[in-house]
A = this chain, B = another copy of it.
């Protein structure tokens, strides 16, 4: 199933400890920025916080991370993480993202994550229940 899902945005700011020896945001921190945005949007936009997933014995395991770097963010900069569900499969979702510099709207990096739904009890992949598919189909 691949539909036109809503795009959601979270605004964040670069912290000094995100900066590496090359004087810009360290490559792996963009990964953390997407994680922070999804955490925020799960509750605020999809109405289903990470904690609520856990209360149902469910979690999301990251299967794949793909990041395409274009322009590096600098210390103190504000940026927007835009994410949307690209595809919902039997046990996985594909989430695309763009990280945009706040000052000029230019794309700093983009990419996608694949998440598998897992049972927290067994650690194994689980079919995504219909009611979760509904919540993610907005």
Contact = CB atoms under 8 A, between A and B. Distances in A.
Interface in A66-102: 66-69, 75-76
Given A61-B69, A63-B69, A27 B31 contact: yes
B21 A75 contact: yes
Interface of A: 15-17, 19-23, 26-29, 31-32, 35-36, 39-40, 50, 59, 61-69, 75-76
Taking the full assembly, how many copies of this chain does it contain?
4
Contacts of A32: 15-17, 28
Contact of A67 (B61, B65, B75): B65
B31 A16 contact: no
B75 A39 contact: yes
A64 B29 CA distance: 14
A6 B25 CA distance: 31
A113 to B, nearest CB: 9
A120 B40 CA distance: 28
A17 B40 CA distance: 13
Nearest to A72: B61
A64 B68 CA distance: 5
